[in-house]
Amino acid sequence: MKLYLQRLDLIEAQITELERMIADAMKAREAAIVRLSELPGLGVDSAQQIVAEIGPCAKAFPSAGQLASWVGFCPGSEESAGESNSNRSAKGNRTLRRLLNQLAHAAVRKRDCYLQIVFNFFPPIPSFW
């Protein structure tokens, strides 16, 4: 049991050191991280992941559509002779897709949030259409 407790202490010390290193590396992007972490459902750790994946300004993507395609949010449109064969989304960036999906679920559940109002104003299209 003593060895397991020592291992646990070592792991906790390593986690603390890694968190400090991440904070130092993200110091230059602190403003973007603070703005992102103000969104409902998004904490500082998640904001740091988003900034690490796409950057603070997303300059690599000329449009929101290209970013959504890179993440894997855009469904495919494999069609032949007017018949849809596949509407699967691309694999994309799984980490970022998971984060943004959690953010969307949290945002629509928060009361009096702008994102909830937009979601309720534009309800999703029923699956039978």
Taking only the tens place, the pLDDT of each residue in 37-76 is 888 778 888 888 888 888 777 788 888 888 888 888 776 6
Q: Look up residue 79 and give its two tokens.
A: 């069609």
Higher pLDDT, 95 or 91: 95
Residue 4: predicted pLDDT: 95
Helix axis angle, 30-37 relative to 44-54, nearest 10°?
Answer: 130
8 A C-beta contact, residue 108 and residue 119: yes
Q: Is the pTM of this model over 0.85?
A: no
